[in-house]
Amino acid sequence: MLFKILVILHTLGATVWTGGHLVLAITVLPSALKSRDPDRIHQFEEHFEGFGLASLLLQVITGLWLTWIYFPGFQSLLSFESYLSTYIGIKLGLLVGTLALAVHARFFIIPNLTKETLDSLAYHIVGVTLLAVLFVILGAGIRLGGLG
């Protein structure tokens, strides 16, 4: 039962994190770039930031918990001997990439967001969104017994 609840929470968190970033990248960002108006992104972030970060935290907790169930004590996790350990290892790599992009954007770009720095933020948003979609693809791959 615990395993099922964790998978449901993990999937729910994925809808928020990945869905929110797809909305940002596909609808809000193009209109902000078109009108060179950083405020549109600020407005979205105002509503999504806390919710989005909570969902990412939920992903990390439920993801690591599921991993612990598959690999108790995380033993032989990083051996990459099975598709499962390979996919989970890649997901951990995606997590490092996501955190690096998010921290850089949050502390170095967003505080000084102007028309000039908008393009740099756009690259970050597209990057985090692509990583978010990859998280879902690899997650589905785990459930499907591999993507090959």
Query: Cβ contacts of residue 38 below 8 Å, gap of 6+?
Result: 32, 113, 114, 115, 117, 118, 121
Comparing CB distances to ligand HEM, the nearer of 11 and 86 is 11
Q: Which among 30-38, 58-66, 99-107, 111-119 is the span making contact with ligand HEM, rule CB under 6 A?
A: 58-66
For residues 84-103, b (16+ Cβ closer than 10 Å) or e, as one string? bbbbbbebeebbeebeebbe
Q: Which of residues 88-147 bind ligand HEM (CB under 6 A)?
A: 88, 91-92, 95, 132, 135-136, 139-140, 142-143
Q: Does 32 engage in binding with ligand HEM (CB under 6 A)?
A: no
CA 53/CA 87 separation, integer angstroms: 23
Phi–psi pair at 100, nearest 5 degrees: -60, -45
Q: Does 24 engage in binding with ligand HEM (CB under 6 A)?
A: no
Number of residues that bind ligand HEM (CB under 6 A): 25
Q: What minimum distance in Å lies between the beta carbon of 16 and ligand HEM? A: 9
Q: Which among 24-32, 34-42, 86-94, 118-126 is the span making contact with ligand HEM, rule CB under 6 A?
A: 86-94
CA 62/CA 139 separation, integer angstroms: 12
Tell me the one-letter amino acid at 105. A
Contact footprint for ligand HEM (CB under 6 A): 7, 10-11, 14, 17-18, 56, 59-60, 63-64, 66-67, 70, 88, 91-92, 95, 132, 135-136, 139-140, 142-143
